[in-house]
């Protein structure tokens, strides 16, 4: 049965990239899938161990989910650390995955920097915990931004290796399901997850540098639009966004070699939920002096109600904590059923 899982880290402010690349798509998937959306607090320890306000960051991401329109009654919203099975399955996947796989991850290389020996072991094992998040619910579809693509490929590799290495024990316990991997039909316990990436907003870039992605960790606040920015701040940041002197082209091909222009067109498309082609149909031949104010207005109209709703929801801490607690209970029941199977497949003795 199809199931959607995705996660967001509770570190720093959410920005337009998180919203357009991920959260907005989470909302859209709710109508057609059962969805589990997780605030991945254990992941936030990998780059930085001590946080002043991890509790409030966790609540704030939760409020952003709810304010954007995720329904915590029809679907599941919770924070990862409440369901200890995530850490348990991650340990098992640490023993499935190979060190070489982890060493090849570009996010690890970027975040560890030159002093790799001094990066936390958790930062290296990060994708193993991410695979555990997804496969604990045997999720089939994972909506993410482009930057998570490599981690999802690794999740597929982990699932495939587990299915392969334990194939006889899976079959003996009758726990396998038939699935399609490429042209082949195989039998396995974990599904081979499909990423859902794409559209104009899969990779939103920095407003100051079209070659860098918009990110929570960029030291310049002008590089990103935060979900909590007010209308004036949003307009100012778009006005100051880096561009080139030419007018917008009328065809998408004309954006080649113009990363900043392409990014602003992508943001417009993401906000309006249309394609880049459609944006250029409307704005082809227009100067940035006209396009930027139109983009700013669209951004304000789209984002301001979400920011307002986030503030309203955040004020009711009991409600937010209740959502996470209830979601955690429902997630744990699903997670424990999977772990029961997994322990049995591996041969870890447990009560029947
Ligand atoms: P995180 O917290 O860095 O980002 C959350 C989501 O936002 C997307 N995103 C972007 N999309 C477009 N343009 C951008 N500039 C941009 N920046 C971020 C990310 O791709 C992501 O979808 N490892 C994950 C969290 C995670 C997870 C999971 C995701 C943990 N377990 C299981 C899916 C399934 C991360 O650090 O996302």
Q: How far is the CA of 53 from the centre of ligand 1 (A)?
A: 20
Whether residues 81 and 11 share a domain: the answer is yes
Whether residues 101 and 123 share a domain: the answer is yes
Indicate whether 352 pLDDT > 90. Answer: no
Whether residues 108 and 133 share a domain: the answer is yes
Indicate whether 8 pLDDT > 90. Answer: yes
Confidence of residue 57 (pLDDT cuts 50, 70, 90): very high
Which of 7, 36, 108, 141 gets mutated to test ligand 1 (max ligand atoms within 8 A of its CB)? Answer: 7
**pLDDT value of position 217:** 87
Q: How far is the CA of 18 from the centre of ligand 1 (A)?
A: 7
Whether residues 135 and 67 share a domain: the answer is yes
The 10 Å Cβ neighbour count of residue 314 is 19
pLDDT one-digit tens code per residue, 95-142:
999 999 999 999 999 999 999 999 999 999 999 999 999 999 999 999
Phi/psi of residue 101, nearest 5 degrees: -60, -45
User: What SS3 string covers the chain?
Assistant: CCEEEEEECCCCCCEHHHHHHHHHHHHHHCCCCEEEEEECCCHHHCCCCCCCCHHHHHHHHHHHHHHHCCCCCCCEEEEHHHCCHHHHHHHHHHHHCCHHHHHCCHHHHHHHCCCHHHCCHHHHHHHHHHHHHHHCCCCCEEECCHHHHHHHHHHHHHHHHHHHHCHHHHHHCCCCEEEEECCEEEEECCCCCEEECCCCCCCCECCCCCCCECCCCCCCHHHCCECCCCHHHHHHHHHHCCCCCCCCCCCHHHHCCCHHHHHHHHHHHHHHCCCHHHHHHHHCCCCHHHHHHHHHHHHHHHHHHHHHHHHHHHCCHHHHHHHHHHHHHHHHHHHHHHHHHHHHHHCCCCCC
Calculate mean pLDDT across residues 151-176.
97
**pLDDT value of position 12:** 79
Ligand 1 lined by 224 (C-beta under 6 Å): no
Residue 207 falls within a domain, yes or no?
no
Whether residues 26 and 163 share a domain: the answer is yes
Q: At what angle do helices 85-96 and 121-135 cross, to 10 degrees?
A: 110
CATH number reported for the structural domain that contains residue 267 in this entry: 1.10.240.10
pLDDT one-digit tens code per residue, 253-312:
999 999 999 999 999 999 999 999 999 999 999 999 999 999 999 999 999 999 999 999
- The verdict on whether residue 215 carries a ligand-binding annotation is yes
| ipTM value | 0.99
Whether residues 173 and 309 share a domain: the answer is no
pLDDT one-digit tens code per residue, 205-224:
999 999 999 998 899 999 99
Q: How far is the CA of 8 from the centre of ligand 1 (A)?
A: 6
Ligand 1 lined by 133 (C-beta under 6 Å): yes
Residue 214 falls within a domain, yes or no?
no
**Average pLDDT over all residues of the chain:** 96
Whether residues 320 and 269 share a domain: the answer is no
Indicate whether 182 pLDDT > 90. Answer: no
Torsion of CA 75, 81, 82, 84, to 10 degrees: 110
Residues tagged active-site: 111, 213, 216
CATH number reported for the structural domain that contains residue 17 in this entry: 3.40.50.620
Q: How far is the CA of 9 from the centre of ligand 1 (A)?
A: 7
Indicate whether 184 pLDDT > 90. Answer: no
**pLDDT value of position 181:** 80
Q: In whole angstroms, what is the distance from residue 158 CA to residue 128 CA?
A: 8
Calculate mean pLDDT across residues 23-45.
97
Residue 216 falls within a domain, yes or no?
no
Residue 206 falls within a domain, yes or no?
no
Q: Is the pTM above the cut of 0.90?
A: yes
Indicate whether 349 pLDDT > 90. Answer: yes
- The verdict on whether residue 232 carries a ligand-binding annotation is no
Residue 27 falls within a domain, yes or no?
yes
pLDDT one-digit tens code per residue, 133-157:
999 999 999 999 999 999 999 999 9
Ligand 1 lined by 213 (C-beta under 6 Å): yes
More confident residue, 179 or 197: 197
Q: In whole angstroms, what is the distance from residue 37 CA to residue 26 CA?
A: 8
Whether residues 16 and 146 share a domain: the answer is yes
Whether residues 278 and 329 share a domain: the answer is no
Whether residues 331 and 189 share a domain: the answer is yes
Ligand 1 lined by 223 (C-beta under 6 Å): no
- The verdict on whether residue 18 carries a ligand-binding annotation is yes
Ligand 1 lined by 90 (C-beta under 6 Å): no
Q: In whole angstroms, what is the distance from residue 269 CA to residue 16 CA?
A: 13
Ligand 1 lined by 75 (C-beta under 6 Å): no
Phi/psi of residue 254, nearest 5 degrees: -70, -10
Confidence of residue 4 (pLDDT cuts 50, 70, 90): very high
Domain of residue 43 covers: 3-200+316-346
pLDDT one-digit tens code per residue, 222-244:
999 999 999 999 999 999 999 99
- Domain count along the chain: 2
Whether residues 39 and 82 share a domain: the answer is yes
């Amino acid at each position: 049965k199809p199931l959607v899982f995705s996660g967001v880290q509770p570190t720093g402010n959410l920005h337009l990239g998180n919203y357009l690349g991920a959260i907005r798509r989470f909302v859209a998937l709710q109508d057609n899938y059962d969805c589990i959306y997780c605030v991945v607090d254990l992941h936030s320890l990998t780059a930085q161990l001590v946080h002043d306000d991890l509790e409030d960051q966790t609540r704030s991401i939760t409020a952003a989910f709810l304010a954007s329109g995720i329904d915590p009654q029809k679907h599941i919203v919770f924070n990862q650390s409440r369901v200890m099975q995530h850490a348990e399955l991650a340990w098992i996947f640490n023993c499935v995955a190979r060190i070489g796989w982890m060493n090849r991850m570009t996010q690890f290389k970027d975040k560890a920097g030159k002093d790799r020996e001094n990066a936390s072991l958790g930062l290296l094992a990060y994708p193993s915990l991410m695979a555990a998040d997804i496969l604990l619910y045997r999720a089939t579809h994972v909506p993410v931004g482009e930057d998570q693509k490599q981690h999802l490929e690794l999740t597929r590799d982990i699932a495939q290796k587990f299915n392969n290495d334990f194939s006889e024990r899976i079959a003996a316990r009758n726990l396998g399901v038939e699935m399609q991997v490429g042209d082949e039909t195989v039998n396995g316990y974990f599904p081979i997850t499909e990423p859902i990436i794409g559209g104009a907003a899969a990779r939103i870039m920095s407003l100051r540098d079209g070659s860098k992605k918009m990110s929570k960790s960029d030291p310049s606040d002008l590089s990103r639009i935060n979900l909590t920015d007010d209308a004036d701040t949003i307009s100012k940041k778009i006005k100051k966004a880096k561009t080139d002197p030419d007018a917008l082209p009328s065809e998408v091909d004309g954006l080649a070699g113009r990363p900043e222009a392409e990014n602003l067109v992508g943001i417009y498309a993401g906000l309006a939920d249309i394609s880049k082609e459609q944006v250029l149909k409307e704005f082809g031949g227009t100067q940035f002096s006209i396009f930027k104010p139109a983009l700013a207005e669209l951004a304000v109209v789209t984002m301001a109600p979400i920011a307002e709703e986030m503030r309203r929801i955040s004020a009711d801490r009991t409600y937010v904590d209740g959502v996470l607690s209830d979601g955690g209970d429902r997630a744990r029941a699903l997670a424990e059923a999977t772990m029961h199977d997994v322990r049995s497949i591996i041969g870890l003795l447990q009560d029947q």
